[in-house]
Structure 1
Amino acid sequence: MKGAENSLDQRFADAMGQLLGPDFPSDIALAVSGGGDSMAMLTLAHNWARVWGVTLWVVTVDHGLRPESADEATMVAQECALLGHKHATLRWHWDGKGNVQDEARKARLDLIDRWRGTLRHVLVAHTKDDLAETFLMRLKRGSGVEGLSAMQERRLYRASDPVEALRADEVQGDLPPQTDQSAGQRSYEILRPCLSMTRQELRHHITVLKTPWAEDPSNEDRKYDRVKMRHLLRDLEPLGLGVDLLAETAQRLRRAQEALAQRASQVWREIGSEGAANGHPTGDVLLNRDGFAGVERDTQLRLLAAALQYVSTNPYRPRETPLEELLDRALAGGGGTLHGCEIRAERENLRIFREEKALISCQKPVGSPGLWDQRWYVFRPDMQGLTIRALGDAGWQSFENKRDTPVPYHAARSLPSIWEGNRLVACDALGIGPGKTSQLRPMGRQSHSFARFLLSH
């Protein structure tokens, strides 16, 4: 038994070496819910950190959706105190809007972002079972290679900007150093060092060590798709379709996905461009129609899906059925809307741009915190008191040089523009105003680039 336990410790150490070695950061965060998987990760990380001299900062997000959640957070805090690690509990207050599971996931990532300070890496305890369950869930949805490929061992989370400080009612416990909030720090990596381990292995590990853990009753509630797939896996195991096989299949599809992404990137370099006018970006994606029509369908779908995500800043890829339908309309010379974007067939290009209807409520004072439409910085000290909104029909009608601009009417309506009441003051892409009033949000220290986005999604 001791050899098996050492083997699990070694596998964790090997995974951490591949993810971050050989020069490990001095401090790393762990997201620990109190469930069996995350408590096992905590014990493995504890042993690993002692060897490598790494300081662990443990964080528990209490979603407040179950009466037991507060006690589970307390249990994690107590275990961290025994092990000698700093711990914080972050509390989410749901407003009752949207899908609760989706909102909880987004809130968890956002709260951790606001808590982590200068920490750049957060460990999470996804397992081989999670790979298999996710594979079945996406298979049920009719996903292709993109959806069926395994989740990555590391994922860059594009953090909120600017960062809002945690309120007193949102945090209890230790805060990592909060001094560095530079642009280069506005993203962090989610690391999954337990993807090669099964849930059974991790539970056995903490049972041997007598580590406390809590079982979320919702893990047996079959109204959730993931729970249904978990029970289905138990039935499939005797037929040879168990966790190991499905996880290995997902990993093979991940390799295929990476190759397909490289192919899409090559095609993009040959037939794609990002929209620009008067030396300023428009935020649009353009694909040469003849070149696009001549490539294989999987690459067409990949480019179109990535363009829709890039323009809309939506973290999710569009569903396959509506994506295929939109592609067919575009190839036939038409267009349509999806994912908060619109696609139009122009004379030479297919243009993917922001749907004006999605920006109706997107109006804010110039210089106010945050991004406009989640991707545009708009700030000029000499323009305080003005507002930014989509150009719209009113702005287009007031623009006198319509024949001289490369931006067509259907795309221009979604451009960021600055207004004083009902008077258009500035729109960089149309050459109105002093210029340099807006810029696309950079990705970390790199420039905002569809080519980079395409390779990372």
Structure 2
Amino acid sequence: MSDIASNLTEVLQTALRRYPATGALWLGYSGGLDSSVLLHLLATAKIPFTALHIHHGLSAQADAWLVHCETEAARLGVPFVAMKVEVDGKRGGVEQGARDARYAAFIHKMGARDQVLLAQHGDDQSETFLLRLLRGAGVLGLGGMVQQRGIGASGEGKSLLRPLLGVSRAELEQYAAVNELRWVEDDSNADVAYDRNYLRSQVAPALKARWPLNARVAQACENLREAAGLLEELAGEDLSRCGVREESFGGSIGLTVFRDLSVPRQKNLLRGWLASLGAQMPEAAHLGQALSQLEARDDAVIEVPLGERVLRRYRDRLYLTPQLPRLELVAGEGEWSWDGVVSLALPGGWTLSPSRDWPAGEYSVRFRSHGERARPRERHHSQTLKKLLQEYGLPPWLRDQVPLVSREGTLLAVGDLFVTEEGPPKPPIWTFLD
């Protein structure tokens, strides 16, 4: 075994020992130099895995690349799977759309506790660092790619591992030459209209001629990740101080304590809160806009998108919620039958489930249509539903989506807020499936 083969094999096996997978191993195999080297390393080391090729359909050569990958995997005796995906470039451009589609395909194909290996290397890390620096990223973004992290839904144990992150592209080229590997070249890699390609061909070579770029970037990323960890701890402490709590739709914190924090700590709290929900980080401008709107008069409607979430204000609390689904009911619809036993899926992602002691029966469920009146069991007089929803503290953005449960025309329950005199002891369970 050559020195380069021995070195890279040790790097691979060290990473696998450090981050062992209890499920199956997959390789994200594009057919390019990097993944071709990792394919050969895994096969030569007789490590069981499956090569997974994602067909994006963005290049005229995509079909030929698929055939190449299948042929090379067969030559090495490696199980091979290909998946075709559709790329949506509307948010973040084609590169980001392709990445999102690729990761979604990995997650879909992987089983619980499986691990997918990607062949990103030290040069990729340097390019990512420079790219994020020039886009004005914060501490977390400048921390670069981590070697291992979880992907997919929490609790499934799926993970991603980059075993070659400390290896240079030159070392991969040397390994490929020694082992006479064959790989495909993506013609788009030469297009300097893409920022990453411009950095790779025009900027990185000049920096490497003067400094050990990969080593300096790796050290900077390690320092920045340490700083990001401290900021994460601070965000957790501030969230706790602000009384973070889970709501039926998103979560909330106390606004009074939040306002006592400095602006940098407010921004850090919001970033930490979003990260704890697995949401994407918003741009700095959006965070600034959110904080400025919180100073509006108390009766103003605050609704600021922060990536996939929305920041809202109601009374003395600040809410971070999913995007509120729009209810688009077809004419003639808007009322559903419920047996009181099986959970009822409602439009917009809502679910109505029986609470303890809720009896089986024939119920009808509909959303509020305005003008209704109701009398909670503990009240002596009926009131407008609008006033009752305010008294029970239901945030304004949910008031048109609260389900009304009736039987034979008699109102029994309003969401999970209250029951009427004719209703069961407790209201049903009303939840949103985020």
Quote the residue 1:227 is aligned against: 197
Q: Contact between 2:244 and 2:252, CA under 8 Å: does it hold in 1?
A: yes
* Aligned pairs (5 A) from 1:55-74: 55-74=48-67
Unaligned runs of 5+ residues in structure 1 are 160-182, 276-280, 442-457
Whether the 8 Å contact between 2:29 and 2:39 is mirrored in structure 1 is yes
Aligned-partner SS, 1:55: coil
Q: 1:400 to 1:93 in 2, by over 3 A?
A: same
Over 3 Å counting, the alpha-carbon distance change for 1:388 and 1:402 in structure 2 is: closer
Question: Shift in Å at residue 298 of structure 1?
Answer: 3.7
Where 1:61 maps in the other structure, the secondary structure is strand
The one-letter code matched in structure 1 to 2:12 is: F
Q: Is the 8 A contact 1:233 1:243 kept in 2?
A: no
- Note the alpha carbon deviations across 1:193-251, whole angstroms, 9 max, x for none: 12111222222212211121111111121111211222321222234272331232122
Counterpart amino acid of residue 337 in structure 1? V
Quick check: 1:362–1:373 contact (8 Å CA) kept in 2? no
Larger Rg: 2
Q: Tell me which amino acid in the other structure corresponds to 2:110.
A: R
Contact 1:304 1:327 in 2 (8 A): no
Residues 57-456 of structure 1: matches in 2 within 5 Å? 57-94=50-87, 99-118=93-112, 120-159=114-153, 185=156, 188-231=158-201, 232-240=203-211, 242-275=213-246, 281-307=247-273, 315-330=279-294, 335-339=302-306, 341-354=309-322, 356=324, 359=326, 398-399=385-386, 401-409=388-396, 411-413=397-399, 417=403, 428-431=415-418, 434-438=427-431, 440=433
Distance 2:411 2:207 in 1: 63
Q: Which amino acid aligns with 1:338?
A: P
User: Contact 2:66/2:82 (CA < 8 Å) preserved in 1?
Assistant: yes
Q: 1:84 to 1:284 in 2, by over 3 A?
A: same
Q: TM-score, normalised by structure 2?
A: 0.77
Following TM superposition, by how much is the alpha carbon of 1:393 offset from its aligned partner in structure 2, in angstroms? 7.5
Q: Secondary structure at the match of 2:321?
A: strand
**CA 1:110/1:379 → structure 2, altered by over 3 Å: closer, same or farther?**
farther
Greater relative contact order (CA < 8 Å, ≥ 6 in sequence)? 1
Q: How far is the alpha carbon of 1:125 from its aligned partner? A: 1.5
Measured at CA, do residues 16 and 385 of structure 1 come closer, stay the same or move farther in structure 2, by a change above 3 Å? farther
SS of the residue 2:184 aligns to: coil
Alpha-carbon distance change, 209 to 56 in structure 1, aligned in 2, over 3 angstroms: same
Query: Which has more helix, going by share of residues?
Result: 1
8 Å CA contact 1:122–1:189 kept in 2: the answer is yes
Distance in 2, Cα, partners of 1:261 & 1:19: 23
- What does the per-residue CA deviation read over 1:41-91, in whole Å, with 9 as the maximum and x for residues that have no partner? 11222244x2xxx52111101111112222222222222222222101111
Asked whether the equivalents of residues 139 and 148 of structure 1 are also in contact (C-alpha less than 8 Å), the reply is yes
> What's the secondary structure of 2:26's corresponding residue?
strand
Against the structure 1 CA distance between its residues 305 and 17, is the aligned structure 2 distance closer, same or farther, given a 3 Å change threshold? same
* RMSD across aligned positions (CA): 4.0
Contact 1:417 1:424 in 2 (8 A): no
CA shift digits 1:118-148 (9 cap, x unpaired): 5621111122222211212211221111221
Q: TM-score, normalised by structure 1?
A: 0.73
Q: Distance between the aligned counterparts of 1:38 and 1:377, measured in 2?
A: 44
Q: Residues 243-291 of structure 1: CA distance to partner in whole angstroms, max 9, x if unpaired? A: 331232122211211121112112212223224xxxxx32233222332
For structure 2, the 5+ residue unaligned runs are: 355-359, 374-383
Q: Judge which range, 289-298 or 133-142, deviates more.
A: 289-298
Shift of 1:308: 5.0
CA shift at 1:437, angstroms? 4.2
Which secondary structure state, in structure 2, belongs to the residue aligned with residue 113 of structure 1?
helix
Q: Which amino acid aligns with 1:229?
A: L
Contact 2:304 2:310 (8 Å CA) reproduced? yes
